[in-house]
Each structure stands twice: as structure tokens, then as C-alpha cells.
Amino acid sequence: MKKQSIGIGLMGLGVVSGQVAKVLTEKADVLAEQAGCPLVLRKIKVLPSDLDREQARQMPSELFTTDDDEFFDESEIDIVVEAIGGENPAREYLKRAISSGKHVVTSNKEVIAKHGAELQALAQQYEVGLRYEASVGGGIPLITPFKYDLIANEISGIYAIINGTTNYILTRMAREGIDFPSALKSAQELGYAEADPENDIEGIDAHYKLAILASLAFQSQVKPEDIYREGISRIASRDFRYAQELGFAIKLLAIAKQVDNSIEVRVHPVFIPEDSLLAKVDGVYNAILVEGDLIGKVLFYGQGAGPLPTSSAVVADIVSSAQDISFGVGNRIKWKLESGKKIKPMAEIETRYYLRMNCADRPGVLAQISRILGDLKISIASAIQKEADIVAQSAEVVLMTHPSQEKAMQQALGKIAQLEAVKEISNFIRVESI
Amino acid sequence: MKKQSIGIGLMGLGVVSGQVAKVLTEKADVLAEQAGCPLVLRKIKVLPSDLDREQARQMPSELFTTDDDEFFDESEIDIVVEAIGGENPAREYLKRAISSGKHVVTSNKEVIAKHGAELQALAQQYEVGLRYEASVGGGIPLITPFKYDLIANEISGIYAIINGTTNYILTRMAREGIDFPSALKSAQELGYAEADPENDIEGIDAHYKLAILASLAFQSQVKPEDIYREGISRIASRDFRYAQELGFAIKLLAIAKQVDNSIEVRVHPVFIPEDSLLAKVDGVYNAILVEGDLIGKVLFYGQGAGPLPTSSAVVADIVSSAQDISFGVGNRIKWKLESGKKIKPMAEIETRYYLRMNCADRPGVLAQISRILGDLKISIASAIQKEADIVAQSAEVVLMTHPSQEKAMQQALGKIAQLEAVKEISNFIRVESI
């Protein structure tokens, strides 16, 4: 029952699917060897408007269809590759492909983060594979390591730089002392940030990816809405100056921790020690640090986006699917998502905090602030006070706390904001010791 | 034909197999879920002398056998885990296990580096799996990524810190300015280096691991004897001082590069730019940087040794083997090793060089050295000359060259050594710009 060839159906005609088609063609020989038989691109499902695009004109026109039924009824397609992105219609397309008995490969983080559990259940029911290596970290191997290599580990933590755009912006701010709007503008000009940058800078992209990684790591369904999320737009160049003075770097981290049977999941800017490996991850690069009971710390680093790295992951998934098809393997892993672990409310997390305030430059201000913190059992690890504006008689006060509970910190912030001598709480950023 | 359980046979009773047995027992439930059925430890093949060891006394005595035939004839064993180490009898044991139709898992770098091709061919013939994730990089996923995740890539280079002992020694030397013998002694006292350290400090361990990685990456059989190898014992604390002055770190790197159809494989100390990520890999940690045409640069980092990380990799391999057995899959990947790529002779490689010499402190010495280099088309990038010893009237001359061919450099070294004004060529270290 060895197949003569395995047919691929592509959905979407963006840069990723264009690159996937290119790799399938150009590397046909080596891929056929690995897959066990030739991989043949049978159909590309596109929108009518796609047909005029340069990418479409470079490929044989008979490959294209704009008709859903024609695509899904094509019996020669064994593997459907979804590269449309977004929640809908990707979700329905993936369900339809799975229900038609086709193995599926997707690079779509949003649909996996939101509907991964549903799609996985359907894939088990129809005994086909569901693969999504490209959905997190571009070409960096992550999903496969979680499903295979790290399987014997109890994962205690994930600390990830998984959005290249924000890491690029923060790197520029750290190196050049420029402010957020300038760094964003520069990132947009270079094509690293979109015209509407919200998805990246508000941590939306990162929180989808974290939902996927945390679900895999903890074998428990972590939904995007379970994740506390904060973006980077509040970070000022002054924060970088203080961070450097205190020995820290500022990164947007996606964090997932497991303590006992409860899970902590959050995406927000953090201070991390400047000598930690994650602090050295600059520019558009991604890095994912995983802690497990057996492996200790392991880190994966690479380009988290772009058509070439993404195609690397998509094609690897296609080859794995093809191997399964050759061997008559349906859905390889019975992935459990019902371990019943609880999501810890944000109010209950405990970290250290960096706090920057603009205060009246007069005696007793620091004492008032310290009293509020002390009453809430938050102890101060270090303090910096600098003259900010001679004319306005204002001073900048920067505090680093010892580990404290978020709830207490939020209460303290509310009370500090009401102090007459405090003109503004300029920023507050959590600190992770990794 | 679903199996009720999958039987494991362990060979050897060292720290790794002890830890593997512990994980199989303590995590039996979660592993059973992933494997598709319970994994049951059936037999442990030991030497008679092992039976008195603490580890043996902690396990039921009926598990143990000292008899080869009893072990290999045990029909309840589906997967044989070899954790004896060394070339023989591991090689014969693995062949016997494969020929008996058992899937095999090994953590043995030497036997895979030397006989991987033979064992793989046998595994294909008998349609069983041969897995060896733990043989390189401890718990760091490497073999699986090469076999699956990076499969669509043409790999152009591997730059790896894959020996924790030497990296620990070099880290101590860099940080504390101590000399090699003191750093080695300290590593031995802490248990990071063996009483007979040759295997680590001479790069033997690293060159086995590189043979495995290069064979996988280039799909061509790279044998240990193909690899140029140099250890770290020649490195002096002075070299670290100059390296730091010039903006470099010193690491023992395992390097594999592919240019056109020829392969360059070597293990030796190198200068690498101090701001490269590999330069930040300190202590016993390992890091493996891989360059591919699609992924660009990807880096894997973690603990490269120790019973816990190694057991993580071994158990992952056991689970993967068990999944294959459950699905009736034999040898999953037809690994090609006959791509016919040539090994480039060391004389033909091209790098930059760092050269440290002890010279007579008088005019014209540098001119003489420069002339020799210039005649061989080696151009100097930077030079440092320092008074070394007033009484002896000697000076230390340090040169960094532009990229030059090894053959020319070796000729130059021969001629420089003959200069009357050159008392000693104290060291010469290759430079990699990664």
C-alpha cells in the first residue's frame, strides 16, 4: 500500500505559501527521499484577487482554484497546508480538511491558540495529523521538541522572546537611547513593524504563541484570554537608562510557570538581569527558555518570522505528515489537554517590581511612599532619587522592590498615586530573575 | 494488534541507566499516555560486579541478569536501551539487539560516531528504529531537530560548544586569569573533569559528537578520523588577556562547514567575537549553532551532560520508539549517508589567525616576521608588541591576520620559528567570525 506520491494542497497565496511552493519544487528530490515518495503540489486555493498577483503568475495557472468545493473534493490531496492566517475562515477550512481525512499543516498561531483543542480532538477522531510547528518561533524547532524531546519532563517554566517586532524596537531603544515612537517608526520604515502595529506592540501576537506553548508544556488547555497581557508602548527611554544603571535589560517576555497544580501565564515587559542569556537576544531574533525537572534550562534561539524560516517549519511538518501517511499512521500523539490545572489570577503572582515616579522635590516624599509600601508588606531593595526639573521643583524617584504580591503592589500604586507629593507614576515594570 | 505493554531492556548500570530506570518508574503514568501503552522495565543486563552496587540493591533483584543470552532471548523486551558506553562490547550488543528485531536507543557517542552507518543500515534491514538523541548535547534536542525540523534545509555550518568540561575550564581561565593546570585541577576537584582528562581536554569527546552531527547535517558519513582535532592544553592565561584586549573570547569549538560539495570538520580552540552568542555560553553548558539556507541561524543551548538531562533524551527516544511500535512503524527514516561529499584537507581551510611569539626585543623583528607572512600572501590585520622581560630583553609580539589558507600559515610558522630573533612561537589559534 505504498503510495506513488503524496499530494499537497496549499491554502492562501502570501509570502509563506509562495515560499513553501518554491521549496517543494526546488528541493523535490531530497524531500522525496525523506518523505518516502514524491511530494506533489496539486492545488492552491486562492481568492479571485490573488490570481493577478506576481506570485500567481509565476506558477502554472491550472494549480489555482478559487472554489472551496473543488479544492476539498480533490482526492489527490493528502495534506492540506493552511497559510491564510487569522481565525476565520482558517478554522472552518482546517475543520473541513480534517473531516475529509486529510492531514493538516498550519502556520496560523491565532487559530491554533483559539481552537487548537477543538482541531486536535477532530484530528484524533478522523485519525489524521495536525501539525503547527511554524505557528510559534518561525523556523525554530519548538512544537516538535515539546511533543517529543521534552516529553519526559515536568515543565516548570517558559520564558520567551517570541515577537521579533517588539524585540527589535526594544533593542533600538536600549542601544540608541531613543524613545518608543521613534523606534516604532524606524521599525515600520524597515518593514519590521506593520502600519497598524497593535498586534505586535500590544503583545497580542505573543500571547497567542504563549497559549500554544503553555498548552503543550503543561498538557492543559491555556486559552489566549487566560493570559495577562501588557504591551511595550509605555516604556520610555528613561526606563532603559535606569535599567542599565541597575544592571538589567528590558524585554517583552511571554512567561508561563507551573507551581503545584496552578499555571501562571502572562505577556508583559520585564526587567531581566543583563547577564542572562535572554538579555543578549537582540533585534528581530526570538529565544525561548524552557525549564524542566530533567533537562534543567534549555534555550532555543533563531529567527522567529519571515518566509524562509517559516517555510522551513512548514515543509518539515509536511515531510513528517508524509512519513505518517507512508506508514499508515493516523494521529500520532494522543495529546491530553484536560489535566485540570488552574490558571492563577494575576493578583496572586509574585515578582519584584521596578517603579518610577515623578515627585515634588521636597523632604519626606520617599518616606511617605515607603510607608505605603511597608504597610502592604512590600520591602524596597534599592532606591534612586534624581533631580528631574529644577524649575518645576520635581524629582524622579525609582524603586526596586523585593518579591511582592501583585495585589499588594496594585493597592500600593493606587495609594501612591493619591499622594499630593506624587505628580505621576511614570512606569512600573515587573522584574524576573532568570 | 495494539500492544498491552511495551517491554524495555536496559544494558549497563551506570548513573544514566539508573536515572532512566527511575524516570520509567516514577513517571510511568504520563509516559504510558504518550507511548500509547505502559512501558515496563523487563530486564537489566549488568556485569557480575555491578550486582553489589548501591543502584542494584535499590531495584528488584529479578530484574537483573548477567547473561547475554538470557537478556537477548527475552521475548518481552521490545526496546533495548544501551547505556554501557564505549565502542565494545556496545557495538556487538546493539547489532545483536537490532538483529533480534528490537528497537534500540543509545546514549553512546563513540559507537554511533564510529559505527552509526553500519548500525543504521542494519536497523533499516531489520525494520527497527535506531535512536541516539542522548549521544550529543545531553538533554538538548539536536538529533530529532536534524532528522525532522531542519530537514528542508541545506545546512551550511555547525559551530558547537559540545564538551562541558573544556568549556568549564576555559570559563574559569577567562574569568579568573588562572592558567590551564589550575583550572583543570579545580574542574577535577568539582567532578567536572575526570582523573584522566584526556578524552575531554584533547577534544576526543567533542570530535565523536561532531562526527554524529555532521553526518546528520550533511547526510554524508563523516568519520571521527576525518576530523582535525586539537585540545585546549596549550592555551595560556596570556592568550585570554590578548583575546580580551582584541575583543574576543576563546572557546573549544566543533566546527562543520559545507562549501559546494566539500565538508570541513574540525575541533580546536578558536577566537570568537566576544559579542557573539556562543561567547556568552559559560561553564558546563553546551550550545550548538546551526546555519541553514531557510532557517538562517538557529541555536540550541542547555546542559550537555549529567544523568538528569541525559535521561530526558533517552526516555524521549524510548517513547518515540514505543509510539512507532504501537503504530507498527519500523525504521522511520531512510537516512542517506552516501551523498559523496568530500572532506576538505585541513591544509585547504581558510580562517584568520592569532599568533603569539616571544621575540628578542630589538629593531626589525616585526619586519622580518611581516616579510615571511607577506611572501606567503598572509596579511596582518593588527599587531601588539609588549615588553615581556627586561632582563632577558625579550618582547611578546601578537598578530592577528586576515583570512589566509592553513597551508600558507603552517609554512609561515615553520619559517618564523627559524628566525634567530624569534625565541618561541608561544601559541597560534584560529579565529572564527560567527
B390 or A16, which is more confident?
A16
How would you class B195 by CB atoms within 10 Å of its CB: exposed for 0-12, middle for 13-18, buried for 19 or more?
Answer: exposed
Query: How much is the average pLDDT of B237-251?
Result: 96
The pLDDT score that the predictor gives to residue A3 is 79
How far, in Å, are A24, A33, B274 from residue A307 at the CA level?
A: 14, 24, 30
CB contact under 8 A, B309 and A295: yes
Q: Encode pLDDT of A259-295 as tens digits.
A: 888 999 999 999 999 999 999 999 999 999 999 999 9
User: Measured between beta carbons, which residues in chain A are less than 8 angstroms from residue B331?
Assistant: none
The pLDDT score that the predictor gives to residue A73 is 93
Residues in A 35-74 with any Cβ partner in B closer than 8 A: 36
Residues sharing a CB contact under 8 Å with residue B48, sequence separation 6 or more, in sequence order: B66
Nearest to B302 among A36, A296, A334 (CB): A296
Residues sharing a CB contact under 8 Å with residue A297, sequence separation 6 or more, in sequence order: A289, A290, A291, B302, B303
Nearest chain A alpha carbon to B140 = A298
Query: How much is the average pLDDT of A149-170?
Result: 97
The pLDDT score that the predictor gives to residue A386 is 84
Nearest Cα residue to A230 out of A45, A430, A76, A394: A430
Task: Report chain A's mean pLDDT, rounded to a whole number.
Answer: 94
Per-position b or e across A28-52, b if 16+ CB within 10 A of its CB: eebbbbbbbbbbbbbbbbbeeebee
Query: How much is the average pLDDT of B177-190?
Result: 96
pLDDT of residue A1 exceeding 60? no
pLDDT of residue B239 exceeding 80? yes
CB contact under 8 A, A323 and B300: no
Place B261 in a pLDDT band, splitting at 50, 70 and 90. Answer: confident
Query: How much is the average pLDDT of B170-190?
Result: 96
Nearest Cα residue to A80 out of A16, A7, A26: A7
Per-position b or e across B110-145, b if 16+ CB within 10 A of its CB: bbbbbbbbebbebbbebebbbbbbbbbbbbbbbbbb
The pLDDT score that the predictor gives to residue A261 is 84
The pLDDT score that the predictor gives to residue A36 is 87
Q: Which of B148, B278, B286, B334 to mutate to test the interface with A (most CBs of A within 10 A)?
A: B148
How far, in Å, are A102, A267, B90, B285, B312 from residue B12 at the CA level?
A: 44, 45, 10, 26, 17
Q: Which range is least confidently modeled, A100-104, A325-329, B269-273? A: A325-329
pLDDT of residue B254 exceeding 70? yes
Place A434 in a pLDDT band, splitting at 50, 70 and 90. Answer: confident
The pLDDT score that the predictor gives to residue A67 is 96
Place A391 in a pLDDT band, splitting at 50, 70 and 90. Answer: confident
Residues in A 290-349 with any Cβ partner in B closer than 8 A: 292-303, 308-309, 311-313, 315-316, 319-320, 323, 327-329, 332-334, 336
Amino acid at A403: P
The pLDDT score that the predictor gives to residue B2 is 63
Q: Encode pLDDT of A363-382 as tens digits.
A: 889 999 999 999 999 999 99
Q: Encode pLDDT of B126-139 as tens digits.
A: 999 999 999 999 99
Q: Encode pLDDT of B327-381 as tens digits.
A: 888 887 666 676 678 999 999 999 999 999 999 988 889 999 999 999 999 999 9
The pLDDT score that the predictor gives to residue B100 is 96
Question: Which residue out of B109, B114, B209, B251 is catalytically annotated?
Answer: B209
The pLDDT score that the predictor gives to residue B41 is 96
Q: Encode pLDDT of B68-78 as tens digits.
A: 999 999 999 99
Query: How much is the average pLDDT of A5-22?
Result: 94
pLDDT of residue A56 exceeding 60? yes
Q: Which domains does chain B have, with CATH numbers?
A: 6-139+307-327 (3.40.50.720), 143-303 (3.30.360.10), 346-431 (3.30.70.260)
The pLDDT score that the predictor gives to residue B425 is 96
The pLDDT score that the predictor gives to residue A429 is 98
B114 noted as active-site residue:
no
The pLDDT score that the predictor gives to residue A268 is 98
Q: Encode pLDDT of A225-245 as tens digits.
A: 999 999 999 999 999 999 999
Q: Encode pLDDT of B5-62 as tens digits.
A: 999 999 998 889 999 999 999 999 999 998 989 999 999 999 998 888 887 888 888 9
User: Measured between beta carbons, which residues in chain B are less than 8 angstroms from residue A308?
Assistant: 293-296
Q: Encode pLDDT of B333-344 as tens digits.
A: 666 676 678 999
The pLDDT score that the predictor gives to residue B121 is 94
The pLDDT score that the predictor gives to residue B168 is 97
B247 contact A CB<8A: no
Rounded to a whole number, what is the distance in Å from the CA of A294 to chain B's nearest CA?
Answer: 5
B31 contact A CB<8A: yes
Calculate what percentage of chain B has a pLDDT beyond 70.
98
Task: Report chain B's mean pLDDT, rounded to a whole number.
Answer: 94
The pLDDT score that the predictor gives to residue A333 is 66
The pLDDT score that the predictor gives to residue A334 is 64
